[in-house]
Structure 1
Amino acid sequence: MTTDKAALRTRLLAARDAMSPFVESQAIGALAESMYALPVDLTEGDTVAAYVATSREPGGTAMLDALVDRGLRVLLPIVPEGGPQRLQWGVYGGERALESGRWNLLEPQGLRLDPDTLVQAKLILVPAVAVDRRGVRLGRGAGYYDRTLAGMSAPIVAVVHDTELVDFDLPEEDTDVRAHWILTPSGGFQPVR
């Protein structure tokens, strides 16, 4: 198995693109259902950081709506202008309140919150191209999440499709921030080893 990040990323994203719409739909439903069985105790009004899934990324707005249904405040990332840096945040107000931002990523409308707003989160859900059982994530390569997650005390959950939880060690750099939990559609929340 190759440990070259770029080659591995290309292979995994190609497999994601080849996923059938039925499997993708099933994954979206299973991940939304998982939001009712979070691995940490939260009460109404607590903050969870999440993300808006891009093409074929696991999640979808159903996952966000399930968190809101539980009475939780959901923060979503906003990519700032310029080179890779810490993400800004906005409060999720439903699918209709999302607008196209940088790189055509959907972002919440309204007030942009400082990157330090993330310290309010009791749980942080992040996308990944893959994750290994140690919690090492393979992302898109720019490092926005690693910059943002450095020093955060809230548990970090890497959300991936079932086939993207790999049984080999992903390459890791000193600046990479590991996940504490892994969430897959079939396996639900799994602690890292």
Structure 2
Amino acid sequence: MYTSILDINRLMTDGDIRRTPPLEDAPVSSSKNDIRADLLAARERMSPFVIAQVNAELAEWMYALPVPVAPGDTVAAYVAVGDEPGGTAMLDALGDRGLRVLLPVVPPGPPTRLLWGEYRGEDALVHGRWDLLEPAESLGADAIGAARAILVPAIGADRSGGRLGRGAGYYDRTLTTADAPIIAVVYDDELVDRLPQADDDVPVDWVLTPGGGFIRTPHLTVNE
């Protein structure tokens, strides 16, 4: 029977996060769905206060991106859903640096490449497909080509560049032709040594955690 790779006692609910050693390798025989369910269950046990604290820490890391950027440059990011790490504080921090921020717009139909629109503040976001918040206007799928860095959500990530998403494949389809470093954003305990990966999974170049900052993976090959 599958054994959890997360010790949920590591997540405190009184307003702080215990800093813990890296997790053990995710068992190779365990399916992505098992690991995904385990990690999502741990997220559900996090208090709103802890999530807000994490988001504030991640926002601070936006002033230390591992990619050279200047005011007017473009960075692709995402709108955090539920207890995903990031939040609008991260987006606003990028904007405070004078960066143009692109956010995904989910197209109709079966999973395909994501479309992108410009972030103009939280109040300008609208409810799109599946009630997800997104920019009101889409600039198309190719708009991501202007990005100097691409911040993506993840449920888990590993030190080799593996990323565990929600399973629909939107990001893998989108990132196949990415021409900028990809940065997966996870909680501290969601960075593991190894995750099971399929041949069509797109690796990430960096992993960002609130406590550890930007961790470079062996896959960094562009815009070094």
- The DSSP-based 3-state class of the residue aligned with 2:104 is strand
Output the amino acid matched with 2:140: D
**Any stretches of 5+ residues in structure 1 without a counterpart?**
none
Query: Could you tell which deviates more after superposition, 20-29 or 65-74?
Result: 20-29
Map 1:93-104 onto structure 2 (within 5 A). Answer: 93-104=120-131
**Aligned equivalents of 2:69, 2:61: Cα separation in 1:** 14
- The DSSP-based 3-state class of the residue aligned with 2:208 is strand
Map 1:32-181 onto structure 2 (within 5 A). Answer: 32-109=59-136, 111-167=137-193, 169-181=194-206
Q: Which residue of 1 aligns with 2:216?
A: 191
Q: Deviations over 1:78-117 (max 9, x none)?
A: 00000000000000000000111111111011x2111111
Q: Deviations over 1:115-150 (max 9, x none)?
A: 111110000000000000011000000000000000
Moved over 6 A (4+): none
- The DSSP-based 3-state class of the residue aligned with 2:63 is coil
Shift of 1:22: 2.1
**Aligned equivalents of 1:35, 1:125: Cα separation in 2:** 10
**Any stretches of 5+ residues in structure 2 without a counterpart?**
1-25, 219-224
- The DSSP-based 3-state class of the residue aligned with 2:64 is coil
Output the amino acid matched with 1:175: D
**Aligned equivalents of 2:36, 2:131: Cα separation in 1:** 21
Q: Which residue of 2 aligns with 1:12?
A: 39
**Aligned equivalents of 2:34, 2:67: Cα separation in 1:** 35
**Aligned equivalents of 1:175, 1:117: Cα separation in 2:** 22
CA RMSD of aligned residues (A): 0.9
Output the amino acid matched with 2:127: S
